[in-house]
């Protein structure tokens, strides 16, 4: 059933196996660490952390831009049996406050880039005691006088020896947040085995070898870059190239320069690459395969222009469910991994025949391969795990051979530039304005094959608030990708019989 090992032990094993082979590179600077150097760096962080006043804190937050220090911190925590709480760096306001408070984090690693967002809510973070800072020390003293402030570099220990973890591979390793199927973002509890299974099951379908180089420009607070990109690269002795964010103007230059051979391509990224004017780099790279989800550009057209192989559809995974169905090299149907059962059910949870669409439900055949529920939200955990199945809120079908095909989402989630946005949190941010009476957010088709957010609001009597002012308020209160593209002010909100905004009617309204 695959490797049974904790993440800290895995990294140490890989350092012994691959020693001086390059492991991880920062795309922007070219800074590269070998497997041995990366493990040594991790050990320095781990030993240094254990000397801190609040070293006993079980849950440690990270809100940071992509960096080698961020990646190394995630593995250092695994070696000392602490739980990484990955905070999406784009969040602001109530959603950010909730993420940090949920696990009662006393220690948070961050940088100056995130001070403004933290300063807005620091008085509402009663458990936070210590900031580990990679930059902005002087400014932090002014903004966060009540908090202990530690320099990341000064925290590093001289001790580079490996720390043997007492954890089991089914123990909790990380909490990563997802919009899930309903309501607020939920903290998915992910075990060491969850991460290892996800990564090792990337290797065969993507035909990965030690000669491969992966490229990931997506935030490390997501499972994609952490477990779908970087960790499988490590497991075959290959190299991963990490970038802080996707840049269209730099993409082909960087993948060519770093010798990239494969990458995961979000739907909007595929569209951006295809829509850009042709350059001399279109076929000078070493990229041989990508997987795009969704795929707004046909694989045939994309392959013809860039000389790559786009793997056709087929895969399915989520933070909640894990990596359940893997894509095939040249077939649109996905293969269900052996440690999962899946079924397609109707509204009564009864299985439907092959070829008929319904909700995808999943259950594991071994412990730890799915998220172990939502941290601090037992009622939400039970809500999605009923009748012995995890209910994904996604629609698909299975053919006669047992291959899976994804169709669409049934849940109220909005996919914006690769981010799964909770409509509830958009509404919550808008409603923090004193003039807004009610708010409802829906997804509308966007140019890149994904969605934009359209926000409907009603105003309190006498308010002169207009759409531009509402969008500006949203920019201050929420992540950039959550800011609605369109704001519509209504005289009256259409409602269901239970008093909720009737989003079906809102979706029919002209812009």
Which residue ranges does the chain devote to CATH 2.30.38.10? 322-409
pLDDT given for residue 267 in this prediction: 58
322-409, which class in CATH?
mainly beta
Give me the tens of pLDDT residue by residue for the chain, a chain 511 residues long: 577 999 999 999 999 999 999 999 999 999 999 999 999 999 999 999 999 999 899 999 999 999 999 999 999 999 999 999 999 998 899 989 999 999 999 999 999 999 999 999 999 999 999 999 999 999 999 999 999 999 999 999 999 999 998 899 999 999 999 864 446 789 999 999 999 999 999 999 999 999 999 999 999 999 999 999 999 999 999 999 999 989 989 999 999 999 999 999 875 788 788 888 899 999 999 999 998 876 778 889 999 999 999 998 778 999 999 999 999 999 999 999 999 999 999 989 999 999 998 999 999 999 999 999 999 999 999 989 999 999 998 888 999 999 999 886 676 678 887 787 878 788 889 989 989 988 899 999 887 677 899 999 999 889 999 999 999 999 999 999 999 999 999 999 887 644 578 887 898 898 8
Query: Which secondary-structure segment (H or E) carries 115?
Result: helix 115-121
Nearest to 344 by CA among 293, 405, 417: 405
Number of residues that this document lists for the chain: 511
Across the strands, what pairs with 394? 409
Rounded CA-CA distance 312/306 in Å is 16
CA distances from 470 to 141, 294, 483, 492 (A): 33, 31, 10, 17
Query: Using CB atoms within 10 A of its CB, is residue 297 exposed (0-12), middle (13-18) or buried (19+)?
Result: buried
Strand, coil or helix: what is 108? strand
Which residue ranges does the chain devote to CATH 3.40.50.980? 29-191, 200-311
Nearest to 413 by CA among 498, 338, 320, 296: 320
pLDDT given for residue 276 in this prediction: 86
Can you identify the CATH homologous superfamily of domain 413-507? ANL, C-terminal domain (3.30.300.30)
Tell me, what DSSP letter sits at residue 353?
Answer: -
Which residue ranges does the chain devote to CATH 3.30.300.30? 413-507
Cis (ω within 30 of 0) for the bond into 167? Answer: no
The angle formed by the CA atoms of residues 397, 398 and 404, to the nearest 5 degrees, is 90
Query: Which secondary-structure segment (H or E) carries 251?
Result: helix 248-257
List the structure tokens of 510.
């002209």
CB atoms inside a 10 Å sphere around CB 30: 11
200-311, which class in CATH?
alpha beta
Decide if 216 contacts 418 (C-beta within 8 A): no
Termini Cα distance of the chain: 52
pLDDT given for residue 411 in this prediction: 61
Rounded CA-CA distance 506/454 in Å is 9
pLDDT given for residue 499 in this prediction: 57
* Rg (alpha carbons) of the chain, rounded to whole number: 23
Q: Does domain 29-191 have CATH number 3.40.50.980?
A: yes
């Amino acid at each position: 059933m695959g490797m049974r090992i904790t993440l800290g032990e895995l990294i140490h094993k890989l350092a012994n196996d691959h020693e001086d082979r390059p492991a991880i590179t920062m795309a922007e600077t070219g800074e590269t660490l070998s497997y041995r150097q990366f493990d040594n760096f991790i050990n320095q962080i781990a030993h240094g952390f254990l000397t801190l006043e609040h070293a006993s804190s079980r849950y440690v937050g990270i809100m940071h831009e992509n960096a080698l220090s961020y990646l190394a911190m995630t593995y250092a925590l695994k070696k000392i049996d602490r739980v990484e709480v990955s905070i999406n760096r784009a969040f602001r306001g109530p959603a950010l406050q909730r993420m940090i408070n949920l696990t009662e984090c006393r220690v948070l690693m961050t940088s100056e880039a995130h001070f403004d967002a933290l300063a807005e809510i620091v008085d509402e973070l009663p458990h936070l005691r210590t900031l580990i800072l990679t930059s902005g020390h002087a400014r932090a003293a002014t903004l966060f006088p009540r908090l202990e402030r530690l320099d990341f570099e000064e925290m590093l220990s001289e001790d580079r020896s490996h720390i043997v973890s007492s954890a089991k591979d089914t123990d909790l390793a990380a909490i990563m947040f997802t919009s899930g199927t309903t309501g607020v973002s939920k903290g998915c509890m992910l075990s060491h085995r969850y991460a290892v299974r996800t990564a090792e099951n990337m290797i065969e379908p993507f035909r990965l070898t030690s000669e491969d180089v992966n490229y990931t420009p997506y935030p490390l607070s997501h499972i994609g870059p952490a477990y779908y990109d970087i960790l499988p690269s490590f497991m075959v002795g290959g190299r991963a190239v990490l970038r802080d964010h996707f840049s269209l103007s730099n993409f082909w230059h960087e993948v060519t320069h770093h010798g990239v051979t494969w990458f995961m391509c979000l739907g909007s990224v595929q569209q951006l690459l295809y829509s850009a004017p042709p350059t001399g780099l279109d076929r000078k790279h070493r990229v041989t395969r990508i997987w795009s989800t969704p795929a707004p550009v046909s694989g045939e057209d994309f392959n013809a222009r860039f000389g790559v192989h786009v793997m056709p559809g087929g895969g399915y995974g989520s933070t909640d469910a894990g990596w359940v169905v893997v894509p095939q090299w040249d077939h649109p149907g996905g293969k269900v991994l052996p440690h999962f059962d899946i079924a397609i059910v109707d509204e009564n949870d009864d299985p439907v025949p092959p070829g008929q669409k319904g909700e995808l439900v999943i259950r594991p055949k071994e412990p730890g391969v799915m998220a172990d529920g939502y941290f601090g939200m037992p009622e939400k955990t039970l809500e999605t795990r009923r009748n012995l199945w995890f209910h994904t809120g996604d629609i698909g079908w299975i053919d006669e051979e047992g291959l899976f095909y994804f169709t669409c989402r049934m849940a109220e989630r909005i996919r914006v530039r690769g981010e799964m946005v909770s409509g509830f949190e958009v509404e919550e941010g808008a409603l923090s304005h004193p003039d807004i009476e009610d708010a409802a957010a829906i997804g509308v088709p966007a140019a890149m094959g994904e969605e934009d957010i359209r926000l409907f609001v009603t105003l309190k009597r006498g308010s002169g608030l207009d759409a531009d002012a509402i969008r500006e308020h949203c920019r201050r209160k929420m992540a950039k990708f959550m800011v609605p593209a369109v704001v519509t002010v209504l005289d009256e909100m259409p409602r269901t019989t239970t008093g909720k905004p009737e989003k079906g009617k809102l979706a029919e309204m002209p812009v």
